[in-house]
């Protein structure tokens, strides 16, 4: 029995499986983090684009919401463009268009926490009249 206690035969496959599982998990976690950051950036950029479009003098606020939904849908899918709201505010000291988007934060693939990601963007309103 003492001769077999120091025997390392058969340990290589076990080491390979343990290290392989750890590296695979780490790689998938980094990829998922990158995807979550990508979704956040897409949603934010779409909100900025929608705010600028809604602030134009010849467009309605709902046109900015439609532009935001379209940009998100094209980049990451319709499921992330569900809750888009556009309002007019004076929070910057001037009339501004504010686009707020609430979307799913992806945790495992495309599955995630609904409405955990919220971004908003402001743009100063244009006017055709002189002030």
Assigned domain for 106 exists: yes
Q: Give per-residue pLDDT as tens, 76-90.
A: 989 888 899 999 999
State the Cα–Cα distance between residues 104 and 115, nearest whole angstrom. 5
Domain residues for 88?
A: 11-124
Between CA 60 and CA 87, with CA 127 as vertex, the angle to 5 degrees is 40
**What kind and span of H or E run contains 103?**
strand 96-108
Residue 62, CA distances (Å) to 3, 52, 84, 85 in order: 80, 12, 10, 8
pLDDT at 5: 62
For 67-74, what is the mean pLDDT? 95
Given a cut of 70, is residue 46 above it in pLDDT?
A: yes
Assigned domain for 129 exists: no
State the Cα–Cα distance between residues 79 and 112, nearest whole angstrom. 11
Assigned domain for 130 exists: no
> Per the structure, how many domains does the chain have?
1
């Amino acid at each position: 029995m003492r001769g077999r206690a120091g025997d390392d035969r058969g340990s290589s496959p076990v080491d390979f499986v343990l290290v392989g599982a750890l590296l695979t998990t780490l790689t998938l976690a980094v990829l998922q983090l990158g995807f979550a950051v990508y979704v956040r950036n897409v949603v934010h950029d779409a909100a900025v684009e929608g705010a600028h479009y809604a602030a134009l003098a010849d467009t309605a606020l709902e046109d900015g919401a439609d532009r935001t939904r379209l940009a998100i849908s094209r980049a990451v899918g319709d499921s992330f463009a569900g809750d888009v709201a556009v309002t007019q505010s004076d929070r910057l000291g001037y009339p501004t268009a504010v686009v707020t988007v609430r979307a799913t934060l992806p945790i495992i693939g495309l599955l995630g926490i609904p409405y955990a990601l919220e971004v908003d963007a402001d743009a100063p309103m244009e006017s055709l009249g002189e002030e």
